[in-house]
Chain A
């Protein structure tokens, strides 16, 4: 075996290769999402990016969160967006050609600021050791956490969802009569 392929023959090496695959997926997806010609392709890029994020969650030791990310974001949110776009404009909305001359510069500045902020936050926080977090993403722990420590936020989120459902029902109902 050549040295180039040798990492493929250990479990850790294989995991590393898969990890970089996910990172590539995130970057590629983000590029497609921002540079695509039409909206549907952009949503597909977003889905790709979210799958990559799910993979990173898996590497962080919380497979439950990874699968939920897949189920909710790739499986539901992206489909809802594509569905809405298809209903509104069957042939897709083409990218607007005119843009402000300073738009690119402003976007770059905002992105740089955001990156700097996130990086500062990430480097200043003292993260818990990986060993302390083994199995922290297990299903039982997530359930217990939701019903004890985070009960108030859990209930508040379900209240918000209820309001959203009733609101959409009211809006849909109004067009009917």
Chain B
């Protein structure tokens, strides 16, 4: 068979990733409502389809059929650009996620860096969305989201540097390839540094904060800020923010499972593949939801203090200890 032109591969991956981001968001909305329901001793959505699984499809159709309204005093261009930008960054970070041994859109050498580079642009989307709405709640929420993201990016990147030092590569497929079975997962302290479990906890907490998830969802504190930076958004503008947020949640959890839990590798060494990646990632997402519906929201100062006074010193300690251990052993 002749090799198909490159453009078909590109188009197939773009379409596939967009479809996955959409389906993932629909599934996660349903899962979130089910998890929340069961944690609060309710049963969650149940009317649309079996177990209510088509509920988010119905929600999606509702969102898409709504009129797109730009508030009179809002900045019309920035107001429209912001949701699209969130969605663009969410789709672009999927490019380097290895779902399976061969199932990755672009297997580049610095994939890990690409994820952080593009995810950092997402903050700009929240910022211009909040500012473009010309609403005081949106602006306050956007400033909160930014200070939070900047604060948690520091310990997160330090942890990632630690991991890169141990693994010796920024290629995500290579990182997964080194974790052949359960004992070789980088979450365990015998695989390079004694503080690896701490690194995992820091990474996970930071990814919660980076994706603005509870208990760090100060940008969306309903009691003070209505709905945060997307207060003025309705219809698909709001829908895109939602798709983007769930896309980033998935990428955060997928990255945690790639770095620490062996990605698409099987814990027992048989049948590695996409299903293991999915199982691990969705289990981590379940933990994220579990945390959201269990812990109350923190305060802004508590959140920033946690980052600068706890996370940063601990991640620096992890980095130093790891460097020392790599040098000695």
Please report A residues at the B interface, Cβ cutoff 8 Å: 8-11, 14, 38, 40-41, 44, 47, 63-64, 67-68, 70-71, 74-76, 78-79, 82-83, 86-87, 90-92, 138-139
**A44-B78 in contact given A11-B6, A63-B109, A71-B116 (Cβ < 8 Å):** yes
* Segment at the A interface, from B120-128, B212-220, B273-281: B120-128
What are the interface flags for B1-35 relative to A under an 8 Å C-beta threshold, 1 for contact and 0 otherwise? 00001110010000000000000000000000000
CA distance A27 to B142 in the complex (A): 29
A79 touches B146 (CB 8 A): yes
B78 touches A87 (CB 8 A): no
**A74-B6 in contact given A68-B117, A79-B146 (Cβ < 8 Å):** no
**A67-B123 in contact given A83-B143, A86-B143, A91-B134 (Cβ < 8 Å):** no
CA distance A132 to B81 in the complex (A): 41
A139 touches B78 (CB 8 A): no
Which residues of A have CB within 8 Å of B324? none
CA distance A67 to B10 in the complex (A): 20
**A70-B131 in contact given A14-B7, A86-B142, A139-B109 (Cβ < 8 Å):** no
**A40-B128 in contact given A71-B120, A86-B139 (Cβ < 8 Å):** yes
The residue in chain B whose Cβ has the minimal distance to the Cβ of A11 is: B6
What is the minimal beta-carbon distance from B238 to any residue of chain A, in angstroms? 21
A41 touches B6 (CB 8 A): no
**Shortest Cβ-Cβ A-B pairs, 7 listed:** A75-B120, A71-B117, A9-B5, A70-B117, A67-B117, A11-B6, A67-B113
B78 touches A70 (CB 8 A): no
B110 touches A82 (CB 8 A): no
Which residues of B have CB within 8 Å of A86? 127, 131, 139, 142-143
Please report B residues at the A interface, Cβ cutoff 8 Å: 5-7, 10, 75, 77-78, 81, 108-110, 113-114, 116-118, 120-121, 123-124, 127-128, 131-132, 134, 136, 139, 142-143, 146, 150, 170
A41 touches B77 (CB 8 A): yes
A74 touches B121 (CB 8 A): yes
Which residues of B have CB within 8 Å of A64? 110, 113
B146 touches A63 (CB 8 A): no
**29 A-B residue pairs with CB within 8 Å:** A8-B5, A8-B7, A11-B6, A14-B7, A14-B10, A40-B75, A41-B78, A47-B121, A63-B109, A64-B110, A64-B113, A67-B113, A67-B114, A67-B117, A70-B117, A71-B120, A75-B121, A76-B120, A76-B150, A79-B120, A83-B143, A83-B146, A86-B127, A87-B143, A90-B139, A92-B131, A138-B109, A139-B110, A139-B170
B110 touches A74 (CB 8 A): no
B110 touches A79 (CB 8 A): no
**A75-B124 in contact given A64-B110, A67-B110, A139-B110 (Cβ < 8 Å):** yes
B113 touches A82 (CB 8 A): no
CA distance A90 to B127 in the complex (A): 12
What is the minimal beta-carbon distance from A17 to any residue of chain B, in angstroms? 9
CA distance A10 to B147 in the complex (A): 45
What is the minimal beta-carbon distance from A8 to any residue of chain B, in angstroms? 5
B75 touches A41 (CB 8 A): yes
What is the minimal beta-carbon distance from A121 to any residue of chain B, in angstroms? 29
CA distance A151 to B134 in the complex (A): 47
The residue in chain B whose Cβ has the minimal distance to the Cβ of A12 is: B6
Which residues of B have CB within 8 Å of A87? 143
The residue in chain B whose Cβ has the minimal distance to the Cβ of A90 is: B139
Which residues of A have CB within 8 Å of B136? 90
Which residues of A have CB within 8 Å of B75? 38, 40-41
B81 touches A44 (CB 8 A): yes
Which residues of B have CB within 8 Å of A75? 117, 120-121, 123-124
